């Protein structure tokens, strides 16, 4: 991280979506733009409509009246473009008067597709609103419809148009890597570009699934997970060898041939030959037992148990499906949930639920089809994609994925057999995940309404920002902001602020909070003064907070209010939360400007909600502080620990190899180091786990 909140994702970056004609066009070329007409934003500005104001049901939305004048204006714009549009495949973008992209579409024949928008009647309400808001159309020609599909998916993810189905929470998936650039291969979790030599296995649905699998594989195959630097520095086996999770090739506890065999077995297991590997291990265990070598037999027994643990945590494992991604969609209450299961080498490598943003009038088939193209925009497809619903452009999607993958990809909606069972299992998970989502959303909505009523806010808050700071006697000071809204905690919106004011008095919490709030709100003011509008993204998360919460009492509240007043932001609601006596949860005091201090009943759900927000901010800021402190300690060595001089430092590094391993060590492990007494071991242990101030 850098020294500014702008180093975090999204903070301070210009909204590229607002200028689609500059970024994407230069990359793809071939743009044909219609000249913008004199469109009155008062009549054509349908894009200003709040999503929450849309009809509550799809039926009502379809049947709702559409104003004639804005629709005619948009049709005129599109009709002018149709005359020059190509009779060929391509991608078109509809933009409003503010140059925001409303919709990205693709067509086998762009002219015919655009002409369909010009007809005066027959449009569903969603399409009619889009046409009414259109002030300009841009076209990108492509060689084939397959290319158009791939480009469309890329542009939707990049531009996030309001009227498209949008994939949210599109994080990269983790893989397991067995490295190939060292004589003793290492097993590690990997994200991002696969540039390091070695064998990659995945994708896995989550980092937790990868970590559990790696731990079990270490027990089963004793493959090292340490870094090359740590490996080269060892003169004695580390703790992982003692707990039977590594064969210790670093100190030659196992020879090259023996370690290579272990790595080969791990690769074979991850490649789908798990039954053969288990058979070999069972045979070795029986042989060792027959030879009365019971210790060696016990090693094989433990390895077999570890392999059984891997497969038991994977739940359902298909018998006939070697490699596939399974997608199932369920819709309810105006929401869509798509559950994805990953099967590789005949093993279940996890599942993940997605909640794409789509208007209520979209059918499951429409949402699923749009989702799939975006999902595989930056991911390698498997040999088979199994779906719960038959999408309209199944063959086109299969062709596009085949071009992308370099081999034939099958896209199918199974009707019988094990494939059908896998889809049914995914559909059950989608239904349950959406049920939990709806329950959480309903609960969150009630909490926000209760918070607004309790604090006397003018409206239910859509964005709450909570600030906290952390330090140890003024060192490694860091501030943090967490964000909550109708969908709960918005972790992609979290920010950290490395405190960098010169001359800051160590431990001056007021000055730290002042710097954080000034940097945050000055940046918002630089982006634009419109507090009511200007969404941070297409999911309608406002940039400006409706409520700011800080950790502290009346003094912190007054200091924060003074900062906002200086910036001309007196209309931003501000609240301070002071910890109860003895820091007891449930006895907090709430402070707001111009009002008496408040205490809520200990069992009040609103109080629990406030506590959760404060605790999340504290967790986030402590984590940021510890990362910063660890970095400084790695750079400075062990000199900061009282009573640890050069001799003990050398002994610790000689025993553990790296500072990171010292930080992880228990008191008992530290006490085994020559020259480290029990008291020194406790002091070192406490130092690395000291709770920061703030």
Q: CB under 8 Å to 321, separation ≥6 — which residues?
A: 343, 346, 384, 418, 419, 422
Asked whether the predicted pLDDT for residue 161 surpasses 70, the reply is yes
User: What is the reported pLDDT for 177?
Assistant: 92
Instruction: Determine phi and psi for 89, rounding to 5 degrees.
Output: -65, 155
Q: Which residues pair with 332 in a beta bridge?
A: 335
User: What is the reported pLDDT for 37?
Assistant: 30
Q: Which CATH number fits domain 18-159: 3.40.50.2000, 3.90.550.10, 3.40.50.300, 3.40.1440.10?
A: 3.40.1440.10
- Give the mean model confidence (pLDDT) for residues 670-691: 77
Asked whether the predicted pLDDT for residue 328 surpasses 90, the reply is yes
User: What is the reported pLDDT for 53?
Assistant: 29
Asked whether the predicted pLDDT for residue 413 surpasses 60, the reply is yes
Asked whether the predicted pLDDT for residue 430 surpasses 80, the reply is yes
Asked whether the predicted pLDDT for residue 50 surpasses 50, the reply is no
- Give the mean model confidence (pLDDT) for residues 605-627: 80
Asked whether the predicted pLDDT for residue 541 surpasses 70, the reply is no
User: What is the reported pLDDT for 411?
Assistant: 92
- 3-class DSSP assignment, residue 398: helix
- 3-class DSSP assignment, residue 152: helix
Asked whether the predicted pLDDT for residue 387 surpasses 90, the reply is yes
- Give the mean model confidence (pLDDT) for residues 616-627: 74
Written as one string, the DSSP assignment of 556-618 is HHHHHHHHHHHTT-TTSEEEEEE--GGG-TT--EEEETTS--B---TT-HHHHHHHHHHHHHH
User: What is the reported pLDDT for 11?
Assistant: 35
Mean pLDDT across the chain, nearest whole number? 77
User: What is the reported pLDDT for 339?
Assistant: 93
Asked whether the predicted pLDDT for residue 598 surpasses 80, the reply is yes
User: What is the reported pLDDT for 67?
Assistant: 46
- pLDDT over 70 for what percent of the chain? 77
Whether residue 441 contacts residue 414, with contact meaning beta carbons closer than 8 Å, is answered with: no
- Give the mean model confidence (pLDDT) for residues 28-49: 32
Domains 324-436 and 464-627 share a fold: yes
- Domain 637-688 belongs to what architecture? Orthogonal Bundle (1.10)
Asked whether the predicted pLDDT for residue 392 surpasses 80, the reply is yes
CATH number of 324-436: 3.30.420.340
- Give the mean model confidence (pLDDT) for residues 147-170: 85
d(C-alpha 437, C-alpha 381), whole Å: 28
Burial class (CB in 10 A: 0-12, 13-18, 19+), 167: buried
pLDDT digits (tens, 9 = 90+) for 564-586: 888 888 778 999 998 765 555 55
Of the listed ranges 70-79, 146-155, 292-301, 376-385, the one predicted with least confidence = 292-301
Residue 269's Cα: distance from chain center in Å? 29
User: What is the reported pLDDT for 393?
Assistant: 87
Confidence at 308, pLDDT banded by 50, 70, 90: low
pLDDT digits (tens, 9 = 90+) for 211-248: 888 888 888 888 998 888 888 888 888 888 888 889 89
User: What is the reported pLDDT for 4?
Assistant: 41
Q: At what angle do helices 509-527 and 554-566 cross, to 10 degrees?
A: 30
SS3 labels along 185-231: CCEEEECCCCCCCEEEECCCCCHHHHHHHHHHHHHHHCCCCCCHHHH
- Give the mean model confidence (pLDDT) for residues 59-87: 68
Confidence at 635, pLDDT banded by 50, 70, 90: very low
d(C-alpha 484, C-alpha 462), whole Å: 8
Asked whether the predicted pLDDT for residue 482 surpasses 50, the reply is yes
Asked whether the predicted pLDDT for residue 373 surpasses 90, the reply is no
Closest CA to 83 of 4, 150, 139: 139
Of the listed ranges 511-515, 533-537, 632-636, the one predicted with least confidence = 533-537
d(C-alpha 620, C-alpha 466), whole Å: 11
Mean pLDDT: which of 15-19, 36-40, 543-547 is highest?
543-547
User: What is the reported pLDDT for 412?
Assistant: 92
d(C-alpha 661, C-alpha 665), whole Å: 6
Of the listed ranges 96-100, 273-277, 474-478, the one predicted with least confidence = 474-478
User: What is the reported pLDDT for 104?
Assistant: 93
Of the listed ranges 112-116, 460-464, 500-504, 511-515, the one predicted with least confidence = 500-504
How would you classify the pairing of strands 175-179 and 136-141? unpaired
d(C-alpha 137, C-alpha 130), whole Å: 12
Of the listed ranges 5-14, 258-267, 391-400, 596-605, the one predicted with least confidence = 5-14
Please report, for the chain, the start and end positions of each structural domain, with discontinuous segments joined by +.
18-159, 175-313, 324-436, 464-627, 637-688
User: What is the reported pLDDT for 504?
Assistant: 60
Radius of gyration of the chain (CA): 30
d(C-alpha 648, C-alpha 671), whole Å: 12
Tokens in use for 108?
Answer: 């086998």
User: What is the reported pLDDT for 41?
Assistant: 29
Of the listed ranges 23-32, 83-92, 104-113, 166-175, the one predicted with least confidence = 23-32
User: What is the reported pLDDT for 8?
Assistant: 37
Continuous segment of H or E residues that includes residue 632 = helix 605-636
Whether residue 578 contacts residue 591, with contact meaning beta carbons closer than 8 Å, is answered with: yes
- pLDDT over 90 for what percent of the chain? 15
Higher-pLDDT residue of 418, 692? 418
In CATH, 464-627 is 3.30.420.340? yes
pLDDT digits (tens, 9 = 90+) for 238-273: 888 888 889 899 998 988 988 998 998 888 888 767
Higher-pLDDT residue of 64, 310? 310
User: What is the reported pLDDT for 5?
Assistant: 38
């Amino acid at each position: 991280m850098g020294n500014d909140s702008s180093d975090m994702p999204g903070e301070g970056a210009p909204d590229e979506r607002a200028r689609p004609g500059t970024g994407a066009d230069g990359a793809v070329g071939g743009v044909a733009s219609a000249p913008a007409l004199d469109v009155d934003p008062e009549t054509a500005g349908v894009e200003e409509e709040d999503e929450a104001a849309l009809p509550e049901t799809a039926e009502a939305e379809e049947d709702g009246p559409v104003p004639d004048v804005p629709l005619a204006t948009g049709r005129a714009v599109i009709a002018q473009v149709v005359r020059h549009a190509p009779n060929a495949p391509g991608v078109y973008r509809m933009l409003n008067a503010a140059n925001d992209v409303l919709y990205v579409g693709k067509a086998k024949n762009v002219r015919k597709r655009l002409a369909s928008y010009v007809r005066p009647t027959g449009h569903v309400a969603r399409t009619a609103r889009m046409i009414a808001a259109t002030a300009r159309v841009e076209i990108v020609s492509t060689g084939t419809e397959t290319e158009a599909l791939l480009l469309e998916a890329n542009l939707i993810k990049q531009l996030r148009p309001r009227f498209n189905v949008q994939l949210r929470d599109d994080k990269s998936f983790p893989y397991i890597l067995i490295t190939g650039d060292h004589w003793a291969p290492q097993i590690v979790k990997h994200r991002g570009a696969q540039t390091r030599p070695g064998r990659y296995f995945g994708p896995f649905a989550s980092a937790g699934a990868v970590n559990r699998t790696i731990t079990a594989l270490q027990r089963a195959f004793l493959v090292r997970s340490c870094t090359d630097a740590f490996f080269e520095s060892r003169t004695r086996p580390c703790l992982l060898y003692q707990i039977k999770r590594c064969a210790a090739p670093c100190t030659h506890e196992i020879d090259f041939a023996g370690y290579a065999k272990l790595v080969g077995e791990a690769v074979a297991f991850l490649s789908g030959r798990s039954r053969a590997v288990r058979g070999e291990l069972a045979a070795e265990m029986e042989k060792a037992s027959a030879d009365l070598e019971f210790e060696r037999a016990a090693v094989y027994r433990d390895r077999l148990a570890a392999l059984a643990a891997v497969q038991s945590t994977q739940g359902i494992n298909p018998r006939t499906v070697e490699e596939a991604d399974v997608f199932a969609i369920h819709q309810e209450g105006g929401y869509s949930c798509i559950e994805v299961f990953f099967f590789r080498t005949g093993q279940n490598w996890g599942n993940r639920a997605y909640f794409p943003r789509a208007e209520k009038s979209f059918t499951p088939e429409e949402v699923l089809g749009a989702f799939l193209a975006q999902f595989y925009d930056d991911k390698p497809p498997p040999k088979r994609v199994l779906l719960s619903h038959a999408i309209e452009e199944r063959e086109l999607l299969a062709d596009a994925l085949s071009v992308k993958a370099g081999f034939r990809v099958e896209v199918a909606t199974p009707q019988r057999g094990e494939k059908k069972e896998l889809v049914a299992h995914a559909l059950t998970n989608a239904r349950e995940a959406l049920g939990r989502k709806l329950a959480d959303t309903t609960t969150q909505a009630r909490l926000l309404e209760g918070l607004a009523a309790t604090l006397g806010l003018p409206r239910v808050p859509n964005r709450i920002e909570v600030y906290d700071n952390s330090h140890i006697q003024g060192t490694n000071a860091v501030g943090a902001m967490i964000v909550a809204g109708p969908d709960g905690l918005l972790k992609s919106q979290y920010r950290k602020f490395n405190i960098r004011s010169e001359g800051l008095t160590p431990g001056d919490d007021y000055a730290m909070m002042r710097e954080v709030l000034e940097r945050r709100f000055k940046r918002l003011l630089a982006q634009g003064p419109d507090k009511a509008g200007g969404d941070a993204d297409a999911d309608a998360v406002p940039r400006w907070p409706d409520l700011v919460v800080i950790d502290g009492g009346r003094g912190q509240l007054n200091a924060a209010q003074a900062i906002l007043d200086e910036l001309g932001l007196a209309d931003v609601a501000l609240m301070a939360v002071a910890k109860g006596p003895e820091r007891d949860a449930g006895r907090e005091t709430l402070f707001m400007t111009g009002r008496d201090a408040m205490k809520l009943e200990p069992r009040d759900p609103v109080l629990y909600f406030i506590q959760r927000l404060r605790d999340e901010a504290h967790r986030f800021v402590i984590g940021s502080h510890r990362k910063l402190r660890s970095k400084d300690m790695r750079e400075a060595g062990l000199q900061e620990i009282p009573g640890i001089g050069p001799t003990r430092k050398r002994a610790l590094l000689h025993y553990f190899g790296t500072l990171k391993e010292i930080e992880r060590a228990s008191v008992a492990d530290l006490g085994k180091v020559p020259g480290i007494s029990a008291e020194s071991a406790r002091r070192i242990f406490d130092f690395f786990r000291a709770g920061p101030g703030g």
